[in-house]
């Protein structure tokens, strides 16, 4: 949802980006962990969400959860350094002894386990556990929310229908091929991944919980989500949906095997399903001084909180790694006409929509790309769209009308659908208060330009579950995305190509085939600079097609209680460096 | 005091010295009683004022140079809150601007009251229509028909209608849209009216049944029957004229009821959806803004209270005027 980033963050596979060389505007100072950091106390988090999108590492794909549970519960072969500034975007070894040894043009990656690493039951973590954990991502019938890189990269034959020959550990199909692609050394300590093509950034992927170990004997399939086994300094004591998640110290975790994690609090309680108004009140009146708001405040409360000078040390306002966007349904019978899509873009009243959600100061600015500037070399300003002289941030209905006039002759069917009162465009949205408000603005702006548009409200609770169905019925969908690591390979193919989350329905348009050919070429390009140039071209290409109507480069605010110490931004996730958090005594 | 036309006709015009007393029809009597009521006429004027304002909403907003769908961004600050005091009240925007979206609250409420009045009026008239037919059928024919109708309305009375409307509104709207009768807000409006009527008629039917039962035993009906009048004639010519006052009283009392019921349901998110606006929608939105823009909550609340109060007082006055027993 373009206006409610928090909601979108909850459901889309929004993940972390290695934010490189970006000016991160920290409005207020959050002091780095000082010498005063002390062990003990209970650390609270609270959220409006009733449950986590996934606790099972295989399905975990939201940036916040990777940062949070990657710190407290699950260890992975590599990890982002738990440090402030750009050091935080660098990798370090976690379960492994180093960040990986590539060979064979980065088609083979080798990791050796650190000695003394154990499960919460005291047994040693072995190569077999890593191999089993990695294999679960192939069981798409059980896990469908996690990243799919493992499937597209491992050297396993592809079937005629495009799926992998290996179907995961629960079915025996293709096991031999998997055993060949992922091998363990005799001492069960070293794992080798054999890939189809060169993947120079495999080590970044190795920091994702989905690549971490799972003990086969403890695996309960889709029920594992309720109580996954811990490898980090804490373990799950209680997980009750719409109530709370309680983490207590994992006494089998040894500091000697994990120099990085500090584990200050004695236990961690995450309150789930807290009413939004109650949650905001808790923040504003400091009712839980040792607590952190996981969602951010509602827009109006946010403004009030950020205007309060006494809260100066309990907040930050940063550029986050997310791009929120409005997808057009590019398939036949919908917005399959470039002129109509362009007309929508120019008619949109972006100013009012941004103001409604917190203004330029707190919500974000108009984007000209799906790659965000914090991706460093892969971002380049595009031409056209918001740089078009006809673009007005408050909407330009006159220009939109002239575009529609051209569409009348160029693509009469699409024109008729967009302007005929008996037909009209449809925008499926979750039935939430904020969406109702922004629908007023969207409809007013589009009607001014001559469109016929209807907002269709769908029950909020089941909206996300039905997205796959909705994407072919609606003309627009709103969502958000952030790069998985500092390479547009985790953005452009995922958003517009054959990756996980392409909602544009552009597969059958004539522009798609040349696009995907170029994407595949860029993916296998080993020269990073050349690859970046190719990404620039591809971003320009997609933006010119208006596959996305508009993009917004978002901002993010965090607020916390007065007794929380060590709040510093962890750049890859735009979250706290959870490792540094402690309770002020 | 004469009880009906026929009674009145039996009374000899009284002769008082010096002046002649004219015989008054029941209508005149009722009108005189209504005028005698202290609040009756005023509540009538206020109700009429709002009903006419709703009816002529497009004309009024046009004359004022406003539109209920336009976004007046000039009056909003960087966080989309109205600039200026009291929610941005000015000569141009007499009730201020809507925080967040920037529509004119005056025209939103005028258009909103159109929807509210439509729901209230259509629902009341339809409930009365059905209630009248069913009530007369039960009261006049009695026997098995009456028993059947009675048990059915018992069932409807016992039904948790409030929860059912909330639970069933999504699927019902879906179904109505699929049949192609109406789409979007029209479908939601239709479903809401259907629900209201479905659960609304039994109350009135009971009232009418009881009245028709007693009317049936009256002398003039017996006389008509003795002269061989058909059932149809008895019902339409003899009974209906005596039932109208009840219907009018019921109408004037149920209007404000349905008006506020519509507000409650749209407040809860059932019924009309934005960008349309009704009292309930504006109020549920205003609740989120009450700290920063209290007048956005105050103005629609005050307007709703005045309308409902005026209609209620009007209903009371009409009942006092028409219902001879209440004196």
* Exposure on the CB side of residue A404, measured as CA atoms within 13 A: 24
Q: Which residue of A has its CA nearest to B167?
A: A459
What's the pLDDT tens digit per position in A470-504? 888 999 998 888 888 888 888 999 899 887 788 88
Length of chain A: 585
Residue A582 phi/psi, 5-degree rounding, is -145, 170
pLDDT of residue A289: 95
Q: Which residue of A has its CA nearest to B183?
A: A454
pLDDT of residue B17: 61
Which CATH code is given to the segment(s) A50-271?
3.40.190.10
What's the pLDDT tens digit per position in A437-450? 889 999 999 999 99
Beta-strand (E) ranges in chain B?
15-16, 19-20
**Is pLDDT above 70 for A247?**
yes
Q: Once rounded to an integer, what is the mean pLDDT over residues B3-16?
A: 52
CB contact (8 A) between residue B73 and residue A431 = no
Tokens of A262: 């500090």
pLDDT of residue B21: 66
Q: Which of residues 91-110 of B touch A (CB under 8 A)?
A: 100-103
So where are chain B's domains?
40-66+86-326
**Is pLDDT above 50 for A433?**
yes
CB contact (8 A) between residue B78 and residue A459 = no
Cβ count near A141 (within 10 Å): 11
Nearest to A359 among B78, B102, B285 (CB): B78
**Is pLDDT above 80 for B327?**
no
Q: Does B71 reach chain A within 8 Å, measured CB to CB?
A: yes
Q: Of A226-230, A328-332, B60-64, B74-78, which has the strongest mean pLDDT?
A: A226-230
CB contact (8 A) between residue A436 and residue B274 = yes
Strand-pair partners of A501:
none
Residues 6+ apart with CB under 8 A from A352: A394, A441, A445, B71, B73, B76, B80, B101, B102
pLDDT of residue A41: 93
Q: Once rounded to an integer, what is the mean pLDDT over residues B270-298?
A: 86
Residues 6+ apart with CB under 8 A from A407: A337, A339, A340, A343, A414, A415, A418
Nearest to B275 among A352, A361, A444 (CB): A444
- The closest alpha carbon to B311, from B56, B120, B37, belongs to B120
pLDDT of residue A31: 45
So where are chain A's domains?
50-271
Spatial contact of A317 and B306, defined as CB atoms under 8 Å apart: no
Chain B residue numbers touching A284 (CB-CB < 8 A): none
Q: Which residue of B has its CA nearest to A455?
A: B184
CB contact (8 A) between residue A431 and residue B269 = yes
ipTM exceeds 0.95? no
Cβ count near A20 (within 10 Å): 17
Q: Does B69 reach chain A within 8 Å, measured CB to CB?
A: yes
Q: Rounded to whole angstroms, how far apart are CA atoms A390 and A115?
A: 62
What's the pLDDT tens digit per position in A185-195? 999 999 999 99
Q: In the predicted model, what is the mean pLDDT of chain A?
A: 88
- Mark out chain A residues that contact chain B at CB-CB < 8 A: 298-300, 303-304, 349, 351-352, 355-356, 358-361, 394, 431, 433, 436-437, 439-441, 443-445, 447, 454-457, 459
Q: Does B83 reach chain A within 8 Å, measured CB to CB?
A: no
Radius of gyration (C-alpha) of chain A in whole angstroms: 24
pLDDT of residue B11: 52
**Is pLDDT above 50 for A88?**
yes
pLDDT of residue A376: 78
pLDDT of residue A14: 37
Chain B residue numbers touching A303 (CB-CB < 8 A): 79
Q: Once rounded to an integer, what is the mean pLDDT over residues A7-35?
A: 37
Q: What percent of chain B has pLDDT over 70?
A: 92
β B15-16/B19-20 pair status: antiparallel
pLDDT band at A283 (very low <50, low <70, confident <90, very high): very high
What's the pLDDT tens digit per position in B124-179? 999 999 999 988 888 888 888 888 888 888 888 888 888 888 888 888 888 888 88
Residues 6+ apart with CB under 8 A from A247: A72, A73, A234, A235, A236, A237, A267, A268, A269, A270
pLDDT of residue A7: 33
Lowest model confidence (mean pLDDT) among A10-14, A329-333, A501-505: A10-14
User: How many CB pairs below 8 A link A and B?
Assistant: 72
pLDDT of residue B20: 63
CB contact (8 A) between residue B285 and residue A355 = no
Spell out the SS3 assignment of A306-333. HCCHHHCCCEEEEEEEEEEEEEECCCCC
Q: Which of residues 238-277 of B touch A (CB under 8 A)?
A: 269, 273-275
Q: Once rounded to an integer, what is the mean pLDDT over residues A385-410?
A: 93
- Which architecture does CATH list for B40-66+86-326? Orthogonal Bundle (1.10)
Lowest model confidence (mean pLDDT) among A249-253, A431-435, A568-572: A431-435
The DSSP H or E segment spanning B257 is helix B240-267
pLDDT band at B277 (very low <50, low <70, confident <90, very high): confident
Q: Does B203 reach chain A within 8 Å, measured CB to CB?
A: no
**Is pLDDT above 60 for A264?**
yes
| Maximum Cα interatomic distance, chain B, rounded to a whole number of Å | 81
Spatial contact of B105 and B97, defined as CB atoms under 8 Å apart: yes
- The closest alpha carbon to A569, from A24, A66, A68, belongs to A24
**Is pLDDT above 70 for A21?**
no
Chain B residue numbers touching A442 (CB-CB < 8 A): none
pLDDT of residue A16: 37
Chain B residue numbers touching A443 (CB-CB < 8 A): 69, 275
> Cα A90 to the chain's mean position, in Å?
19
Cβ count near B12 (within 10 Å): 6
Residue A271, preceding bond cis, omega within 30 degrees?
Answer: no
pLDDT band at A145 (very low <50, low <70, confident <90, very high): confident
Chain A residue numbers touching B100 (CB-CB < 8 A): 356, 437
At residue A353, the 3 state secondary structure works out as helix
Spell out the SS3 assignment of A123-176. CECCHHHHHHHHHHHHCCCCCCCCCCHHHHHECCCECCCCCECCCCCCCCCCHH
**Is pLDDT above 70 for A144?**
yes
pTM: 0.76
Q: Once rounded to an integer, what is the mean pLDDT over residues B281-306?
A: 88
CB contact (8 A) between residue A300 and residue B80 = no
CB contact (8 A) between residue A441 and residue B69 = no
DSSP labels, B39-64: SHHHHHHHHHHHHHHHHTHHHHHHHH
pLDDT of residue A388: 92
Q: What is the DSSP letter of A549?
A: E
Contacts 24+ apart (CB under 8 A), B75-84: B75/B102, B76/A352, B76/A355, B76/B102, B77/A355, B78/A355, B78/A359, B78/A360, B78/A361, B79/A299, B79/A300, B79/A303, B79/A355, B79/A358, B79/A359, B80/A352, B80/A355, B80/A356, B80/A359, B81/B289, B81/B292, B81/B293, B82/B293, B82/B296
CB contact (8 A) between residue A436 and residue B273 = yes
């Amino acid at each position: 949802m373009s206006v409610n980033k928090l909601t979108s963050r909850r459901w889309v596979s929004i993940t972390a980006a290695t934010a490189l060389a970006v000016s991160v505007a920290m409005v207020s100072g959050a002091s780095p962990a000082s010498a005063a950091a002390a062990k003990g106390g209970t650390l609270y988090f609270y959220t409006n969400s009733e449950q986590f999108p996934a606790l099972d590492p295989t399905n975990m794909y939201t940036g916040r959860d990777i940062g949070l549970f990657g710190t407290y519960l699950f260890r992975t072969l590599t990890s982002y350094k738990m440090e402030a500034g750009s050091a935080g975007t660098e990798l370090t070894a976690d379960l492994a002894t180093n960040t990986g040894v590539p060979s064979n043009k980065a088609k083979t990656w080798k990791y050796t386990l650190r000695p003394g690493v154990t499960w919460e039951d005291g047994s040693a973590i072995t190569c077999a556990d890593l191999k089993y954990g990695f294999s679960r991502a192939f069981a798409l019938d059980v896990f469908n929310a996690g990243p799919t890189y493992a499937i597209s990269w491992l050297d396993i034959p592809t079937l005629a229908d495009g799926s992998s020959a290996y179907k995961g550990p629960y079915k025996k199909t293709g096991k031999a091929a998997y055993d060949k692609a992922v091998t363990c050394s005799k001492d069960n300590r070293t794992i080798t991944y054999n890939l189809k093509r060169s993947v120079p950034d495999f080590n970044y992927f190795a920091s994702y919980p989905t690549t971490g170990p799972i003990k086969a004997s403890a695996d309960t399939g889709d029920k594992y989500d309720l109580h996954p086994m811990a490898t980090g300094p804490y373990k799950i004591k209680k997980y009750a949906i719409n109530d709370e998640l309680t983490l207590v110290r994992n006494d089998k975790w040894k500091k000697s095997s994990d120099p990085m994690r500090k584990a200050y609090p004695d236990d961690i309680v995450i309150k789930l399903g807290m009413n939004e108004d109650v949650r905001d009140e808790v923040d504003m009146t400091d009712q839980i001084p040792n607590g952190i708001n996981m969602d951010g405040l509602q827009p109006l409360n946010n403004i009030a909180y950020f205007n309060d000078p006494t809260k100066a040390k309990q907040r930050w306002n940063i550029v986050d790694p997310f791009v929120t966007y409005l997808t057009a349904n590019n398939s036949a019978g919908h917005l399959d006409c470039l002129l109509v899509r362009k007309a929508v873009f120019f008619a949109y009243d972006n100013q009012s929509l941004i103001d409604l959600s917190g203004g330029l100061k707190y919500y974000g600015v108009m984007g000209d790309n799906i790659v965000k500037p914090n991706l460093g070399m892969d971002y380049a300003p595009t031409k056209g769209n918001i740089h078009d002289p006809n673009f007005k941030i408050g909407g330009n209905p006159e220009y939109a009308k002239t575009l529609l006039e051209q569409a009348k002759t160029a693509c009469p069917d699409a024109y008729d659908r967009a302007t005929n009162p008996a037909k009209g465009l449809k925008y499926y949205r979750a039935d939430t208060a904020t969406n109702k408000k922004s629908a007023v603005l969207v409809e007013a702006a589009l009607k001014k330009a001559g469109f016929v548009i209807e907002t269709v409200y769908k029950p909020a609770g089941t909206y996300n579950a039905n997205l796959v169905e909705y994407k072919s019925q609606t003309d627009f969908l709103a969502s958000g995305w952030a790069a998985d690591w500092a390479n547009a390979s985790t953005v452009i193919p995922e958003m517009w190509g054959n990756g996980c989350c392409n909602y544009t329905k552009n597969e059958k348009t004539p522009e798609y085939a040349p696009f995907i050919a170029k994407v595949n070429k860029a993916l296998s390009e080993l020269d990073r600079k050349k690859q970046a140039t190719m990404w620039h071209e591809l971003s320009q290409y997609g933006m010119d097609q208006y596959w996305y109507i508009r993009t917004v480069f978002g901002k993010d605010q965090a607020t916390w209680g007065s007794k929380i110490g060590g709040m510093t931004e962890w750049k890859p996730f735009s979250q706290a460096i959870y490792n540094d958090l402690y309770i002020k005594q | 005091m004469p009880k009906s036309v026929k009674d009145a006709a039996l009374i000899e015009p009284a002769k008082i010295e010096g002046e002649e007393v004219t015989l008054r029809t029941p209508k005149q009597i009722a009108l005189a009683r209504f005028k005698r009521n202290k609040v009756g006429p005023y509540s009538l004027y206020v109700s009429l004022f709002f009903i006419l304002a709703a009816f002529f909403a497009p004309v009024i907003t046009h004359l004022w140079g406003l539109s209920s769908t336009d976004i007046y961004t000039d009056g909003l600050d960087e966080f989309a809150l109205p600039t200026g005091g009291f929610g941005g009240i000015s000569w141009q925007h007499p009730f201020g601007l809507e925080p967040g979206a920037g529509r004119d609250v005056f025209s939103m409420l005028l258009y909103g009251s159109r929807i509210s009045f439509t729901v209230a009026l259509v629902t009341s008239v339809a409930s009365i229509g059905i209630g009248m037919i069913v009530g007369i059928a039960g009261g006049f024919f009695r026997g098995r028909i009456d028993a059947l109708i009675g048990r059915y309305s018992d069932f409807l009375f016992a039904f948790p209608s409030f929860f059912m409307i909330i639970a069933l509104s999504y699927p019902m709207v879906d179904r109505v849209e699929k049949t192609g009768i109406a789409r979007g807000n029209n479908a939601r409006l239709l479903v809401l009216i259907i629900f209201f009527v479905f659960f609304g008629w039994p109350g009135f039917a009971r009232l009418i049944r009881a009245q028709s039962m007693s009317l049936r035993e009256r002398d003039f009906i017996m006389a008509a029957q003795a002269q061989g009048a058909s059932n149809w004639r008895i019902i339409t010519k003899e009974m209906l004229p005596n039932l109208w006052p009840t219907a009018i009283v019921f109408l004037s009392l149920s209007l404000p009821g349905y008006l506020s019921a519509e507000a409650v349901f749209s407040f809860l998110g059932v019924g009309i959806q934005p960008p349309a606006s009704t009292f309930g929608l504006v109020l549920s939105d205003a609740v989120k803004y009450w700290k920063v823009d209290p007048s956005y909550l105050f103005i629609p609340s005050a307007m709703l209270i005045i309308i409902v109060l005026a209609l209620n007082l009007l209903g009371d006055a009409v009942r006092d005027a028409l219902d001879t027993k209440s004196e």
